[in-house]
Amino acid sequence: MGDSFTDGKFILGIIFALWRICLAQEPPACFVFGDSLVDVGNNNYIVTLSKANYPPNGIDFGKPTGRFTNGRTIIDIIGESLGFKEFTPPYLAPTTAGPVILKGVNYASGAGGILNETGKLFVGRINLDAQIDDFTNTRQDIISRIGLPAAVELLNRALFSVTIGSNDFINNYLSPVISEAERKFCYGMQRLYNLGAKKIVMVNVGPIGCIPYQREVNRVADPDSCAAFPNQLARSFNAKLRTLVTELNKNLPGAKFVYADVYSIVEDIIDNYKSYGFQNTNSACCRVAGRYGGLTPCGPQPSKVCVNRSKYVFWDAYHPSDASNVIIARRFLYGNSSDISPMNVVQLLQAS
């Protein structure tokens, strides 16, 4: 007789595997909005100081693509788990046209924010309002290709994800913009809903006080401690965001908004890093200068890259490593209500 807990895990594994096989036959479209955490190359096509289309970025992806990490983004990994044969492409790529758009499009932009003024020090960036404008164009292209009824059905089934907000604090010098950002976020989500989005994952702001850059500029006595004030701002914004998700679900008929708690997940990774196989929780794997390698962006020489990227929570001064993104993605897909609520991504896509 096998151990009941082990047997239970085995059965759950079979269920998830069968679910992925079924979904892989006809995966839903995926539309992605956000900042550099999920940008897959849109900033390659605009004039901006926020770019990642050069080595050593993408070192474990095979080549630099514009992703601000050593490998895949969270959305890349979720897409793979959902059975997508190709990664959701950047909106601005010339090849993102024709039938390609029926599987989804990524509108995210490094340095982008909820507020239109966010990221202006980087010159070019595509903020949330403009990203939704771009989706409006895609929506019209979809209607032109398959007709309005089929387009409505496609969008109703599609997965929408929004990962944005960190830059509204980091790039605005940690000014308290919470109320204004909340209003703009609410308006943006209502726009998406009115354009046909029904299943929307809203990712909160992570523990920005723990990224190598904030550790550098907010030195604390304990080198292993995160910067308190940035994290306090993030928690305040996240509390309002959770309330907003509840209100949107209540007030928008047929809507299924989901609150994805990346703050708690990353905090758990940092607090329990050894159990996840990490060795370093506070420094950038790709580094140039600083105690934590967080004073300058990752780039070509003289940047130095750690030998084993999978042992680092952070890839560079701002962004998680591929190894961290895998953990975050899996907990979005299959996690319980402490990770993502009122349902996880698997449950959201199964919901009618």
- The amino acid at residue 7 is D
Q: Which value, in Å, is the radius of gyration of the alpha carbons in the chain?
A: 20
The tens digit of pLDDT for each residue in 196-248 reads: 999 999 999 999 999 999 999 998 778 789 999 999 999 999 999 999 999 99
pLDDT at 170 > cutoff 80: yes
Percent of the chain surpassing pLDDT 70: 92
Q: Tell me the domains of the chain and their CATH numbers.
A: 29-350 (3.40.50.1110)
Instruction: Give me the catalytic one of 36, 50, 264, 303.
Output: 36
Confidence of residue 1 (pLDDT cuts 50, 70, 90): very low
* 319 labelled catalytic: yes
Burial letters for 308-346: b for 16+ Cβ neighbours within 10 Å, e otherwise? ebbebbbbbbbbbbbbbbbbbbbbbbbbeeebbbebbbb
Burial letters for 219-239: b for 16+ Cβ neighbours within 10 Å, e otherwise? eeeeeeebbeebbebbeebbe
* H helix or E strand, kind and range, residue 256: strand 256-260
* 316 labelled catalytic: yes
Instruction: Give me the catalytic one of 319, 321, 322, 339.
Output: 319
* 271 labelled catalytic: no
Instruction: Give me the catalytic one of 316, 321, 324, 339.
Output: 316
**pTM of this prediction?**
0.92
Q: Burial of 299 by CB count in 10 Å (0-12 exposed, 13-18 middle, 19+ buried)?
A: middle
The tens digit of pLDDT for each residue in 248-299 reads: 999 999 999 999 999 999 999 999 999 999 999 999 999 999 999 999 889 8
349 vs 220, residue with greater confidence: 349
The angle subtended at Cα 202 by Cα 200 and Cα 205, nearest 5°, is: 170
In the numeric block, the tokens 């899996």 are attached to: 330
Query: Which residue, among 289, 50, 68, has the nearest Cα to 171 in the 3D structure?
Result: 50
* H helix or E strand, kind and range, residue 260: strand 256-260
Residue 260: C-alpha distances to residues 48, 71, 161, 240, 341 (Å): 29, 22, 10, 13, 7
Token pair in block for residue 204: 């909160």
